[in-house]
Structure 1
């Protein structure tokens, strides 16, 4: 479900936005390049989750509608946390929808209709993809002396895995009732 995008060069941090930190410019760059794609993917997954929330139909409408809304809220909350961490260490973050498109690895879904069971499967896979990316970013943060960002990402990872778990159980329940 995911696509691979080319790595985008980081823009130099304007002097007015260069938050002072004891991290080296190389450490800041590594952290920024690890976290910004997570932010882009969180935006992409948020929109996809809301899309599925809005376009549900069928016998599980109410349950899935509420579940997807809860998940979208959780994803949206993580975006500001990650973006503010990038700024706190002296980096800059997402600037536009096109910037998101350049960095995201979560595939958009522009289908006019997706069956509810497929929605659950797609979201479960996308959350699994993000969980892997978060683990990779945690490793980068730890290697670059940024335990605060690592700790924030660990909390976001836990919430991501919770979403994946819920979606897995929903998918298993649907298989058992067929």
Structure 2
């Protein structure tokens, strides 16, 4: 249905067809958890399993992304500058994999989890406090969150291989898992208890 706005001009009443229609609402044309058929030569049961797995990874990855941003903003101490930049870089990299995972859900005919309150209900990652923790606690939280995502990714790799969903398997194997493992390594090394500088005694 087209909304028409009528205005008066020297030529009389003029109809404006380009008037935007604001405050539109609709019933859900596809509910979360439903699948629409896609010609992918995969059984519906396999697609359903893979969509559920991917949505869990989307929820956990979004939570990990937000955890990185929280700690990026709240970073303190003598390593502030280095960690402030590193955490933001990791967040940007994770954001790209979130898009890959979410779009794969849609390609399979599913509905991607998206809104913060829905993500908060689904994620398996522990909720942090609103306030600022010390730096080791922040970094430890990130490592634990990575471990949760990595476990889910490995389960997804096995599941997608069993279900012969090779595209999903490739995304998880070549894009998501290597990044998660690399970032875990980077953050873990900041938790090694070593002095900033060491001095060799002469004598």
Task: Give the greater-gyration-radius structure (CA).
Answer: 2
Classify the secondary structure of the residue corresponding to 1:171: coil
Classify the secondary structure of the residue corresponding to 2:194: helix
Q: Distance in 1 between matches of 2:34 and 2:133?
A: 41
Pick aligned residue for 1:70 from 74, 86, 89: 89
The structure richer in helix per residue is 1
Task: Provide TM-score, normalisation by structure 1.
Answer: 0.87
Task: Provide TM-score, normalisation by structure 2.
Answer: 0.76
Larger RCO (CA under 8 A, 6+ residues apart): 1
Gaps of 5+ in 1: 1-9
Q: Would you identify which runs of 4 or more consecutive aligned residues in structure 1 move more than 4 Å?
A: none
Q: How far 1:123 sits from its partner (Å)? A: 0.6
Classify the secondary structure of the residue corresponding to 1:142: helix
Q: Where does 1:48-67 land on structure 2 (aligned, <5 Å)?
A: 48-67=67-86
Q: Distance in 2 between matches of 1:97 and 1:34?
A: 18
Classify the secondary structure of the residue corresponding to 1:177: coil
Aligned equivalent of 2:25: none
Q: Distance in 1 between matches of 2:142 and 2:101?
A: 21
Q: Where does 1:124-139 land on structure 2 (aligned, <5 Å)?
A: 124-139=143-158
Number of aligned pairs? 165
Q: Where does 1:107-146 land on structure 2 (aligned, <5 Å)?
A: 107-146=126-165
The structure richer in strand per residue is 2
Aligned equivalent of 2:98: 79
Q: How far 1:124 sits from its partner (Å)? A: 1.2
Aligned equivalent of 2:46: 27
Q: How far 1:152 sits from its partner (Å)? A: 0.5
